[in-house]
Structure 1
Amino acid sequence: MMQDIRNNWSLQEIHDIYNTPLLELVFKAATLHRQYNDTAEVQVCTLLSIKTGGCSEDCSYCPQAARYNTGVDVQALMKKEDVLQYAQKAKEAGSTRFCMGAAWREVRDNRDFDRVLDMVKGVNELGMEVCCTLGMLTESQAERLAEAGLYAYNHNLDTSKEHYSEIITTRTYDDRLQTLDNVRKAGVTVCCGGIIGLGETHEDRIRMLHTLSNMPEHPESVPINALVAIKGTPLENNEKVVVWDMIRMIATARILMPKTMVRLSAGRTDMSISEQAMCFMAGANSIFAGDKLLTTPNPSFDEDNAMFELLGLKPRKAFKEEKQYLSEMVEA
């Protein structure tokens, strides 16, 4: 019998799931994953930094914050033709979702935003799901992105509400939630997850998953990131996240949000194929491909293709949910 999709998980329930002995937890998550998803399918996404560095925020983990000296050069907004060329290459290499990231605190209604809207239209015309991560958004900006053909908007919670002010002071947790609400109202799908390894406790991780799984609608995509400690940031000396913690987070997210795409995101470079295989078994069904995640290293397309072949995985097709819905309507 399939577990119902729930949006009313208690902290105690999540605490109990998260603290299940690891192999039992992975088995439970894998069983549920098999019921709700095609376990051989992995969504392949590519992330491009279209405007790099010089951000006014103080996110403690981020090499793009203007106040930290991390060796990241400030670069202006890329030209549309260069972005589309990059997107085309990503598509040819097997990506079906293309995410554009700009190091902004929030979107401003100016010429740069108009240029981003143009990029969204261009990537959409390539037949890829287009995603953006541009900082805070108003309702009308979210609507304009939706009109341009935006498929998903990424805006991570990063950590729990309780730990958030230890990591970022230039905006609040509620600011985050408001942007997600604006995105949802505009009919754009939500991509929202977090980072582990920020100095948080296991309780903070549980609380972040509680917030995500109790949203009125679960995010369609939940990226689970392991901190990549960058020299020059306040968190440069944080300990590396152990792979078992990533597996525990992925498995718990899969049990709480059975239909959500759970993305094995930053930190994958340091994982062996067998460690990544455990993550896929625990319920991960989305990755970032390409040699960079904004400014941090990532496995190459060739390495990922070899891993997919070894594990018997295949890239998920673009717009799969919509195509399934349309075919069901036609049959009805």
Structure 2
Amino acid sequence: MTEIRNNWTKEEIAEIYHTPLLDLIYRAATIHRENKDYAEVQISSLISIKTGGCPEDCAYCPQAARYNTGVDVHAIMPKEEVIAAAEKAKAGGASRLCMGAAWREVRDNRDFEKVIDMVKAVNALDMEVCCTLGMLNEAQAQRLADAGLYAYNHNLDTSEDDYKRIITTRTYDDRLQTLSNVRKAKISVCSGGIIGLGETVEDRISMLKTLSNMPQHPESVPINALVPVKGTPLADQPRVSVWDMVRMIATTRIIMPKTVVRLSAGRTEMSTVEQALCFMAGANSLFAGEKLLTTPNPSFDTDMAMFELLGLTPRKAFKNGRPQQQTEILETETSL
């Protein structure tokens, strides 16, 4: 079996990334197939529980209040609508529901209490619950864990050196601190990045080095292709090459062998053949459903047809067990 390492150098990662493409895919596919469940794909559904009006200045994001992108601002979604969306996603094959809020950080207010209730409600449907709510402190992370949160998404987006070009309203260290708080609460970590921001290959390699050298690899690493949105500073960026996506996915699979690698934003621009190459290179997760927060995405039916064609199967919820807090809650309830 492939050794799990947390001491990758930029030079080693660069050598892997620049391997001749067919050799790179073969190496990543070989490592992926060391896992007997390589044909299983974890399906997540992503909904926006609070849309637009964000004070951050992320150059790619249509939800930033300072950009005129045509996104309607909506207050936090009622819990009943979230439950209905979760049930629809589960019926479509999703094992995880990710709830996103356009916040800079979590605040200890009524809206956070509503999120806690949502987490409990979706967890009761026997789905993995993920949130992406911006920065949060240790106490907030623990509250989410106690409510049954399975995973927390907080992407690094790009390299530390490139970060200030994309976002000025928070720092790279802010991102890393939130991930540390999530890890301390024993919540599964979901953190990846976006390619096509105008970054260099060296930036991509540096971001992967940061992720792979964490004391514990993120359980999930989303690889996103930028979806340019009119009104944002990155509106005129060219479409990312599928070969760049394949290289990123394959390199991620090689240096983080046990991590779930998610083929994320940008799939609407990819053919079934292009997506098949990504799965061959080690992707074993995707977002399903017609919208990712505010950007288009293939429908459940389209993805299920692709799964049948490629011989892929949806991964069941809690494949690797529940976080410690959820297990304790269930054991307590069972003993009552």
- Whether the TM-score (by the shorter chain) exceeds 0.5 is yes
Contact 1:254 1:282 in 2 (8 A): yes
Q: What letter is aligned with 2:282? A: G
1:36 deviates by 2.9
Match of 2:260 in 1: 261
Separation of aligned partners in 1, 2:230 and 2:100: 21
Moved more, 138-147 or 314-323: 314-323
SS at match of 1:161: coil
SS at match of 2:209: helix
Cα offsets for 1:134-191 (capped at 9, x unmatched): 0000000000000000000000000000000000000000000000000000010000
Q: What letter is aligned with 2:314? A: P
1:8 deviates by 0.5
Q: What letter is aligned with 1:32? A: I
Mapping for residues 64-75 of structure 1, pairs under 5 Å: 64-75=63-74
Separation of aligned partners in 1, 2:35 and 2:166: 35
SS at match of 2:33: helix
Percentage of matched positions with identical amino acids? 73
Matched, 1:3 2:11: no
Name stretches of at least 5 consecutive residues in structure 1 with no aligned partner: 327-332
Match of 1:151 in 2: 150
SS at match of 2:161: helix
Runs of 4+ residues over 6 Å off in structure 1: none
Match of 2:134 in 1: 135
Matched, 1:45 2:38: no
Mapping for residues 315-326 of structure 1, pairs under 5 Å: 315-322=314-321
Match of 2:277 in 1: 278
Mapping for residues 227-246 of structure 1, pairs under 5 Å: 227-246=226-245
1:40 deviates by 1.2
Match of 1:109 in 2: 108
Indicate how the Cα distance of structure 1 residues 244 and 278 shifts in structure 2: closer, same or farther if over 3 A, else same: same
1:46 deviates by 0.1
Separation of aligned partners in 1, 2:87 and 2:2: 39
Separation of aligned partners in 2, 1:268 and 1:275: 9
Match of 1:313 in 2: 312
1:39 deviates by 1.6
Match of 1:95 in 2: 94
Match of 1:54 in 2: 53
Contact 1:37 1:259 in 2 (8 A): no
Contact 1:158 1:193 in 2 (8 A): yes
Separation of aligned partners in 1, 2:268 and 2:36: 25
SS at match of 1:321: coil
Cα offsets for 1:182-236 (capped at 9, x unmatched): 0000010000000000010000000000000000000000000000000000000
Contact 1:263 1:286 in 2 (8 A): yes
Contact 1:154 1:192 in 2 (8 A): yes
Match of 1:22 in 2: 21
Separation of aligned partners in 1, 2:40 and 2:2: 21
Q: Normalising by structure 1, what TM-score?
A: 0.97
1:280 deviates by 0.2
1:3 deviates by 1.6
SS at match of 1:247: helix
Mapping for residues 295-306 of structure 1, pairs under 5 Å: 295-306=294-305
Separation of aligned partners in 2, 1:227 and 1:12: 26
SS at match of 1:35: coil
